[in-house]
């Protein structure tokens, strides 16, 4: 959440959302001025329900994050217990670790498959349940398209015939003109008959050519494709569920070594806690999903009412323009996010490799443009969990993220760094002194102790230093003063 907010604010993405919000407020004001009575009666109830649903959503989001934090804590305890088993030499520990890893992979795949099935159910899949009716509707829409095209053709031919005869009237004799008229009538009639659709076609749906083409594609292509994908997904889900049941059964077997019994008992208890907490979080996530669906339904209902008001009042043109602007802003937001995230990934990766001791450890840093989740990819293309990084590497990663954000934003941002070298080894310290501090921003405030930036490091950093201040605490006077010096360094000119 913090990374998401920082990225959107520093890269200017929040301005687009603010503009969309302002447009929505302006549109509501237009509609209120057009028909305040109808707006109060029809929209007020919906907005009250939306307020309640959004409050419920915020509570569920908070609960979900809390349970995720609890889950992370339990998983960390389980990892520590498994590590303890491995150190004690239990054969069962290694087998259980492998089973737990496989179970985690299978659960992740199971959740992904369930999500995929839900998404398919929200696609044109229901049309695949009535294939005959879908094919009949597609045939009717295609025939209606032919009928509309024929009508256009008939009108054009009639106008062409009249235009030719009118032009020939002043240049041909009456007899010749009649022959020409008879000839054109015969030829155009033959041309019409060759392209006339069946006489039993009736235009029932009155769709535009674009809407008819989209509907036919949905019925004949998207719905069958969705059904095939669902069938494949269900087969894989059954296989994953079966294997997951077997793996969990193996993991729950009691260990044979009595010396490890206490550790195994505690590990089993934490695994049960993990299962219960995951189930609670799953229920909360499902409730959150239902609330979000309800919010979407209410918002669609409100949009329908506002659309009817748009059509009834002279503000239709303005609101239509606002709708186009919202569509354009959404597309612009998507493309801008993609471009900014790509640039940010490149900047963070470069910054990390400049600061880290292992300059080739990270191949790239991936940032999901939808969720803003960050993943570290090593030189072998594998995702490295951030908890596997050392404390120094985590600090370097955090600094690289901030540095990359500042460079991508292009803004002159001041930087304040407090005790930056406390948990870093000598190589990391030198990298920060040489590559980061002199270039972190146009104005950098570095707060350090004499054990962090020592004599050698201060000498190397001195060319980039403008001012030094030593904060001294006077115990007798109970106050702190700032002298223009740096620990062992004598007073310097400001």
For the chain, the straight-line distance linking the first and the last C-alpha, in angstroms and rounded, comes to 41
Fill in the DSSP letter of residue 489.
Answer: B
Position 63 confidence tier, pLDDT thresholds 50, 70, 90: very high
Among 111-120, 199-208, 296-305, 391-400, the least confident range: 199-208
Q: For tokens 């030499």, what's the residue?
A: 89
Cα–Cα distance, 313 to 277 (Å, whole number): 53
CA-based Rg of the chain, rounded to a whole angstrom?
35
Taking each helix axis from N to C end, the angle separating 13-34 and 36-87, rounded to the nearest 10 degrees, works out to 150
User: Per mean pLDDT, which of 63-77, 213-227, 368-382 is the most reliable?
Assistant: 63-77
Cα–Cα distance, 38 to 313 (Å, whole number): 12
134-166 pLDDT per residue, tens: 777 777 777 677 767 767 777 777 777 777 777
Position 491 confidence tier, pLDDT thresholds 50, 70, 90: very low
Structure tokens at 483: 């002298």
Cα–Cα distance, 398 to 352 (Å, whole number): 9
Cα–Cα distance, 75 to 271 (Å, whole number): 8
pLDDT over threshold 50, residue 493: no
From residue 80, alpha-carbon distances to 74, 93, 429 in Å are: 10, 12, 30
The average pLDDT across 89-116 equals 77
367-426 pLDDT per residue, tens: 777 777 777 787 777 877 777 777 777 777 888 888 887 787 777 778 888 877 766 777
Predicted confidence at residue 81, as pLDDT, reads 81
Tell me the DSSP string of 113-129: HHHHHHHHHTTTGGGGG
CA 481 to chain centre: 50
pLDDT over threshold 80, residue 467: yes
Of 275, 278, 108, nearest in space to 267 by CA: 275
Assess contact for 393 and 356: CB atoms under 8 A: yes
253-305 pLDDT per residue, tens: 545 555 567 777 888 888 889 889 999 999 999 999 999 999 988 888 888 77
CA 26 to chain centre: 27
């Amino acid at each position: 959440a913090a990374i998401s907010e920082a990225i959107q604010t520093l890269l200017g993405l929040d301005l687009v959302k603010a503009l969309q919000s302002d447009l929505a407020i302006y549109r509501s004001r237009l509609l209120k001025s057009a028909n305040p009575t109808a707006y109060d009666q029809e929209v007020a109830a919906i907005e009250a329900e939306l307020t309640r649903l959004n409050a419920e959503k915020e509570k569920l989001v908070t609960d979900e994050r809390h349970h995720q934090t609890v889950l992370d804590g339990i998983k960390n305890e389980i990892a520590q217990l498994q590590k303890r088993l491995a150190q004690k030499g239990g054969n069962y520990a290694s087998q259980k670790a492998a089973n737990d890893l496989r179970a985690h992979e299978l659960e992740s795949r199971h959740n992904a498959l369930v999500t995929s099935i839900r998404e398919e159910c929200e696609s044109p899949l229901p049309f695949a349940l009535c294939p005959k009716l879908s094919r009949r509707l597609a045939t009717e829409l295609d025939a209606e398209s032919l009928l509309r095209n024929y009508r256009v053709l008939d009108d054009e031919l009639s106008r062409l015939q009249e235009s030719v005869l009118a032009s020939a009237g002043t240049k041909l004799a009456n007899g010749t003109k009649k022959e020409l008229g008879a000839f054109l009538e015969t030829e155009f009639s033959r041309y019409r008959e060759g392209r006339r659709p069946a006489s039993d076609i009736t235009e029932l749906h009155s769709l535009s050519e674009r809407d008819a083409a989209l509907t036919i594609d949905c019925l004949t292509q998207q719905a069958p494709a969705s059904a095939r994908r669902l069938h494949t997904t269900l087969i894989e889900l059954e296989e994953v569920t079966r294997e997951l049941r077997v793996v969990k059964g193996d993991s729950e077997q009691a260990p044979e070594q009595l010396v490890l019994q206490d550790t195994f008992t505690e590990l089993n208890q934490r695994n049960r806690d993990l299962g219960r907490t995951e189930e609670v979080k799953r229920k909360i996530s499902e409730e959150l999903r239902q609330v979000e669906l309800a919010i979407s339904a209410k918002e669609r209902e409100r949009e329908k009412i506002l659309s009817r008001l748009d059509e009834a009042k002279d503000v239709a043109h303005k609101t239509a323009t606002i709708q186009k602007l919202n569509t354009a802003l959404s597309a612009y937001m998507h493309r801008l996010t993609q471009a900014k995230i790509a640039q940010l990934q490149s900047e963070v990766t470069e910054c990390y490799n400049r600061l880290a001791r292992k300059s080739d450890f990270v191949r790239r840093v991936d940032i999901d443009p939808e969720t803003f989740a960050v993943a570290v990819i090593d030189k072998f293309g594998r995702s490295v969990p951030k908890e596997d990084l050392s404390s120094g590497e985590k600090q370097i990663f955090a600094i690289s993220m901030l540095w990359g954000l500042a460079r991508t934003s292009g803004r002159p941002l001041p930087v304040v760094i407090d005790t930056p070298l406390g948990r870093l080894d000598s190589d990391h310290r030198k990298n920060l002194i040489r590559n980061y501090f002199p270039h972190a921003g146009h104005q950098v405030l570095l707060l350090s102790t004499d054990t962090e930036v020592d004599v050698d490091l201060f000498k190397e950093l001195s060319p980039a230093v403008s001012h030094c201040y030593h904060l001294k605490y006077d115990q007798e006077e109970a106050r702190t003063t700032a002298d223009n010096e740096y620990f062992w360094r004598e007073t310097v000119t400001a």
